[in-house]
Structures are given as structure tokens and as C-alpha cells.
């Protein structure tokens, strides 16, 4: 399969979400027009995005919802469970642990770490918060696919270096810094300050 | 000023963050190379991004850190305070209210609403959670620049319609749906499920 742009991957995720809604509503087929209307895009864009993966619509009949859901889940790598370690047991970490969307999509939080002795040992959704000093030993004991970093900015790079050295290939970063990682590691940064600044920019330059 | 791409706006936000670090460290000038190295980009990209706003570097001397901070804050619309209403007093809302980055950048949460009677009246960081039924009256009484929507997916569009009808022009949306708004309203959606799926996609298609 060709390498596809991140913007396309994001649209595929959205299509999957809409298709799951359609499936719940009992729809069996869907046109590219209907999918486009739901997602605020064009039917040409929908057809282009889906054409990356071979043709699976039928002219005049549209796409089979069940088939498209199955293929998109496969393409997005959602046919399996991902083991997630969370580093940082603060407010955002707490919200994430209780975020149902994680587990629904197969992302299972298997360990939580914090540097604050006052937090270590606390029970978070059935998991005991561990001392970050145990990070290395724990990641050697159990396989982790994804690290979620929710530490303060000044601690994040060292945590990233550590998990990368232990074989983690994917990081979801909430710390407000740009992490530096080797080319074979993928990092997604969620930076709320950045999101706010695209809003203030838009409000100012209208 | 020309309309600039969102990807550029995001890089400008990052440059500002780095420059503020440099300023704290007492640096007076910075080269495009140093800024590029800190941000994981190229000096050509830095010069191109900054050239949108007229030239303010000096060949061989680099940019004045203080001047660049001032200009970037101005460009990003950070010279003023933005009044923010939050709709949804759940876990993510709680994390956001306590997020220092908000206020540091001039985003002031002035009202919090929830539909759950059990939450109404609770004190959140000095603000009393209001019944969402008061949203309309409250937004008529006090000017709000930005609405942060942290409701369940099924409630989000109705909330967006309401705040837009009351004159709000910018929305930060955490509900896992694509909001439909008029062209003159800007929406930024933070969708954790999408972020996770770009990771699972990358892990699966490597």
C-alpha cells in the first residue's frame, strides 16, 4: 500500500465514525454523497480517499456500510488491542483514563506512572499508580505499544527517550513541547495552547 | 495581510513558545538555524514562515528575540484577553479549567455550564457551574469570544447552534463529532480517538 497523507488518515477515521453511526441506524448501503454530507466534504474527496485501498463501491448502489466499516478498521489497524502506558497521573491523565473512547477502540491502558510519591500507589480505574522509577523494569516485563506522555514540559523529553530506548514506537504527547525521536517512532502531539492560538489568530485576522 | 495556512499558524505558535524559552534564558538574538533546530524544521522554513510578516531578521545577526516575541504575539492575536465559556463540566472540562496554559495566554474562563442538576451550583476554580438552560441569558449578559464544548457527542451540535446564534465566532470542540457551523465561525476539534487512530495506522502500516 502507498504511504498516505496524515490528512487522509484523519478523514478515514471520521468516515469510520459516521459509518458506525449509519450501521447503528440500520443502514446497509451509503453513497459517497451521503458520507460527504455528513463529514462536511465533497463526494469526489470521499471517492478519492477510498480509492487508495482499491475500489469497493458499486456505481449506482454505493458502498456496503458493513464492508466499508470492516475495511476501514483493518486499514486503520483497529483489528487488535494496543497496550498503552501512561506517564503522568495528573488532571489530564485522569480524564484520559476515564475516557471510554480509548478502550472502545482497543486501546488498553496497562500501566500508569508518576514521579510524585503522593500519587504512587493510588488506584486509578483498577490500576495502581507506579513510581516512574519502575518504568524501565515494567516496560521490560510487559510489552507496551503506545506511551501517553502527560508530564510537565520539562520532564517529557527524558520520558520519551526512555520509552523509545525500551522499544516503544508510538507516543501520544500532551506535554507542550516538540519531542525529538528517531525516524522510526511516530509522535502525535495534542497541544491545547496551539489549538487556542489558531482560534485567537482567526478571531484577530478576520 | 495575506491569509496564511493553518500549518504556518501552528508553526508560528511553536516558534513563539521556543522564543519565550530563549528569552527566559537571557538570549537576545537567535538565528533561523537555532530556531529551526529547536523546532525540528529547517532554517529555510523558518525564514519563509517569518517572511509572511515582512522581514525582521538582520543578515548575520539573526532575529531580536524580544522583537520576534512581540511581533508573533501580535500576529497570533495574543495581545488581549479572550472570554471563554465552557459547556460541559465533566472530566475533560475539569482538566481544562485547571490548565494553567489557558490563563497564561489570555484565555479566561468566565462561565461553565452543565445539563446535570447534580453538577449545577458546584464551585469550579472560583466559578459556580450554571444550568445549561441559563446559557442563552448568560451569553446575552456577558460577551464571550470562545465556546469550549466538552459535552457528549449527541448534545454538541445543538450547543454549537445555540452559541453561534448568540454571536460566538470561535469554538474549541472536544466532542467526537464534526460540528457544522456557518462560514464565519471557526471551529477547532480536538479528537483523541482520531489521534489514537493515526498512531494505530502508523503502527500497522510501517
- Residue A100 confidence class, pLDDT cut points 50, 70, 90: confident
DSSP letter string, A59-122: TTTEEEHHHHHHHHHHHTT-SS-EEEEEE--SHHHHHHHT-HHHHHTTEEEEEEEES-TTTTT-
A36 contact partners, CB below 8 Å, separation of at least 6? A42, A43, A45, A46
- What b/e string do you get for A137-159 counting C-beta neighbours within 10 Å, with b at 16 or more? ebbeeeebbbbbbbbeeebbbeb
**Tell me, what's the pLDDT at A55?**
63
Chain B residues with CB-CB distance to A39 below 8 A: 178
pLDDT at A97: 82
pLDDT of res. B136: 95
Q: What pLDDT, on a 0 to 100 scale, did the predictor assign at position A115? A: 95
| Rounded distance between C-alpha atoms, residue A88 and residue A174, angstroms | 10
Give me chain A's average pLDDT, please: 88
Nearest Cα neighbor of A145 from A57, A90, A59, A85 is A85
* Complex prediction ipTM: 0.84
Contact, A60 vs A22, CB < 8 A? no
Confidence class of residue B21 from pLDDT cuts 50, 70 and 90? Answer: confident
- Torsion angle in degrees (nearest 10) through CA of B137, B141, B147, B151: -30
* Residue B23 in grid coordinates: 528569552
Which of A40, A76, A169 is facing B178, going by the closest CB pair? A40
Cα B190 to its chain centre, rounded Å, is 10
Q: Which strands form B62-64's sheet, in the order they lie side by side? A: B29-30, B62-64, B57-58
Handedness of CA A195, A200, A206, B5 (dihedral sign): negative
B63 CA to chain A: closest CA distance, Å?
Answer: 21
What are the pLDDT digits (tens) for B81-125? 999 999 999 877 887 887 777 787 889 999 999 999 999 999 988
**Residue A40 pLDDT > 60:** yes
Euclidean distance between CA atoms B161 and B179, whole angstroms: 9
DSSP, res A129: P
Flag the least confident range among A72-86, B41-55, B161-175: B41-55
pLDDT at residue B41, rounded to an integer:
81
Selecting from B3, B92, B203 the residue whose C-beta is nearest the C-beta of A77 gives B203
Query: Cβ–Cβ of B145/A198 closer than 8 Å?
Result: no
Residue B2 has pLDDT above 70, yes or no: no
**What does the DSSP assignment read for A150-173?**
-S-HHHHHHHHHHHHHTT--EEEE
CB B112 within 8 A of CB B86: yes
Interatomic CA distance for residues A95 and B88, integer angstroms? 13
- Chain A nearest C-alpha distance from B191 (Å): 9
Provide the whole-model pTM.
0.79
Angle between helices A32-39 and A6-24 (to 10 degrees): 110
Q: Identify the residue with better confidence: A98 or B20.
A: B20
Mean pLDDT across chain B: 88
Q: Residue A71: CA atoms inside 13 Å, Cβ hemisphere, count? A: 17
Chain B positions in Cβ-Cβ contact with residue A106 (cut-off 8 Å): 200
Label residue A62 left, alpha or beta by phi (over 0 means left) and psi (-120 to 50 means alpha).
Answer: left
Question: A16, A167, A194, A206: best mutation site toward chain B, by most B Cβ within 10 Å?
Answer: A194
Top residue of A197, A202, A203 to mutate, by most chain B CBs within 10 Å, is A197
3 state DSSP class of B172: strand
Looking at residue B148, its pLDDT comes to 95
What does the pLDDT look like over A118-174, one tens digit per residue? 999 999 888 999 999 999 999 999 999 999 999 988 899 999 999 999 999 999 998
User: Which domains does chain A possess?
Assistant: 6-75 (1.10.10.10), 82-194 (3.40.50.720)
Amino acid at each position: 500500500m502507498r504511504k498516505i497523507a496524515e490528512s487522509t488518515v484523519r478523514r478515514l477515521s471520521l468516515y469510520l465514525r459516521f459509518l458506525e453511526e449509519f450501521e447503528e441506524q440500520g443502514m446497509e448501503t451509503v453513497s459517497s454523497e451521503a458520507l460527504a454530507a455528513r463529514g462536511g466534504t465533497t463526494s469526489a474527496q470521499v471517492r478519492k480517499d477510498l480509492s487508495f485501498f482499491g475500489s469497493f463501491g458499486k456505481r449506482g448502489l454505493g458502498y456496503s456500510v458493513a464492508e466499508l466499516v470492516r475495511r476501514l478498521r483493518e486499514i486503520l489497524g483497529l483489528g487488535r488491542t494496543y497496550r498503552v502506558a501512561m506517564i503522568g497521573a495528573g488532571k489530564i491523565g485522569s480524564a484520559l483514563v476515564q475516557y471510554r473512547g480509548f478502550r472502545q477502540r482497543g486501546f488498553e491502558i496497562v500501566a500508569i506512572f508518576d514521579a510524585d510519591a503522593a500519587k504512587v500507589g493510588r488506584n486509578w480505574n483498577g490500576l495502581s499508580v507506579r513510581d516512574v522509577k519502575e518504568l524501565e523494569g515494567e516496560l521490560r516485563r510487559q510489552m507496551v505499544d503506545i506511551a501517553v506522555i502527560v508530564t510537565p514540559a520539562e520532564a517529557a523529553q527524558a520520558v520519551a527517550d526512555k520509552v523509545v530506548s525500551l522499544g516503544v514506537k508510538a507516543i501520544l504527547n500532551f506535554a507542550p513541547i516538540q519531542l525529538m525521536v528517531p525516524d522510526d517512532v511516530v509522535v502525535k502531539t495534542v497541544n491545547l495552547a496551539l489549538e487556542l492560538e489558531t482560534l485567537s489568530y482567526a478571531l484577530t485576522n478576520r
